[in-house]
Every structure is written in C-alpha cells, then in structure tokens.
Amino acid sequence: MNKKMLLGTGFSLILLFSPFTQAFAQETTGEVRKVDNVAHRGASGYAPENTIAAFDKAIEMKADYIEMDIQRSKDGELVIMHDTSVDRTTDGTGYIKDLTFNQLKNLDAGSWKGDEFAGEKIPTFDEILDKYHGKIGILLELKAPELYPGIEESIAQELKDRNLDKPQNEKMIIQSFNFESMKKMNTLLPKVPIGVLTGSKAHTTPQALKEFSAYADYFNPSYGLITEDLVNQVHSQGMKIQSWTVRSHESADFLLKMKVDGIITDYPDYVDPRK
C-alpha cells in the first residue's frame, strides 16, 4: 500500500521549497490547493469521448490526467471505448467483444459529437501509451473485465514492454468497478497504483475501506457519495480519493471544498484549485 508515498513526499518537499513554487504562490490570488484535474474520457465535454481529439483537448486545457476505458476486440486487440457496444458513439452496431479490430478501426467515432469530428477513430491501447505517456498522466479503467478473460495479463504485458510497470509520480493509475480484477492487477503490477470505483454507499463503511486499502491506493466514488467524513476516512486508510463525474462549476467547487485528491470531469476548465 501507498506505493508512492515516500517518493511523493520527497517530490512535494522539492516543490515546496522551489523558487518557482514560491513565486507562483506569491503571484496568485487565493490559496492554491493540490488537486489532480482528471479529464473524463478526455475533455469529453468538448470533443468525442475516448478519442485522440478528446485527449489532445485535455492536454490543451492542461489537465493532469486523461481518464479512459479499455476493452478488447474479438481478435484480442486492446481498444479504448466506454460502452460495451459501439452503438452510441460510432456509426456501427454490435458488441466490442464480437467485432474484430479491423471492423472497429473502420468505424467513425466522432461524427455523433459534431461534423468537425467526422472520421475520428477508436484508439488502441498501444497507440495511447506511445502518444501520451510522459506528456500527461493516464487513469486507465478496465471496463467490464469479466467479459474479457485474461485482459489483465494483456494490459500488464503492454506496460511491461514499455517499462511502464514502474510509473513515476503515479502517472499511471489503473481502476475498475470490478474489485477482483483490481486485486489481480495489484498482483501483476505491484508498483502501479490501483483504484477502486464505486457508486454504492455500502462500499463506504470503515470495514469496506479497510478491505480496499489492502490492495488499492485510490478509492474513487461517485460525486453523490462525497462527504468530508468519507474523505477523512479514506485518507486515514492511507488511500487517496478522486470523485466523478463533474459537469458543473458548482460540483467542482464542492469537491474542492471537500479536499478530494482528484476531480474527474468532462470539463477540465471547470476545476480551479484556487479559493
């Protein structure tokens, strides 16, 4: 647990006493709070979710992380898409698990958001890693991993092939609603931070949080579950807390007030870490 605590502490001290940090603090109005700005499926309020256009927009808007969903094609290619079917966000139909990569790559994943995004493609996991690692943090969600036996091993191998199984400054985080899958990922990638997702109040009890802390570094609940007490409990178990999904200035401001560690948002420009 707390795989990056010592590294993070040292890095924080360097920042605290750096001339740049001190100068920045003096030039801003209001106290700057440390919170990770996580672009949900990229800057999906402005560009089609889980596409290169959305991820590029997130970088343009200076997000700290891009959040994305990973699944697997019929012939074993790891692809980035939220829904288990392609119906909502492409011009095709069918379940990802039943479509080959060749079928998936020929779909238009952008036109539904606007004509200016026509021709956007479903990205592959290796494409995302090669294009964005080192430029922005990656929060990777395993979407319905129970549909894809062995997907954990495939993801782990892709990261190991690029020496990303030992990320710096927590710039690679893996999360899921499937807790057994996350236990497996923790075993496969013991140095990569693990997060658990939930929208259930049943998972916010002290006992549940203690159990999560045995293998998870992040507890990431839905916005409606956030209270000051929950944030404190999560921190007391040595975990960080990120919350989703912010689509208004008011909800962003509320989460800042609650002192969460990360805000997962469709609109990265809504997150202002100053009072």
Rg (CA), the chain: 18
The type of residue at 127 is E
- Eight-state DSSP code of residue 222: B
Q: Is 82 one of the catalytic residues?
A: yes
**Is the peptide bond prior to 89 cis by the omega test (within 30 degrees of 0)?**
no
Active-site choice (40, 133, 203, 249): 40
Q: Angle, to 10 degrees, between the axis of helix 125-132 and the axis of helix 52-60?
A: 20
Active-site choice (82, 133, 203, 235): 82
DSSP string, 28-55: SSSPBP--EEEEETTTTTTS-TTSHHHH
Q: To which H or E segment does residue 59 belong?
A: helix 52-60
Q: Is 235 one of the catalytic residues?
A: no
The catalytic site residues sit at 40, 82
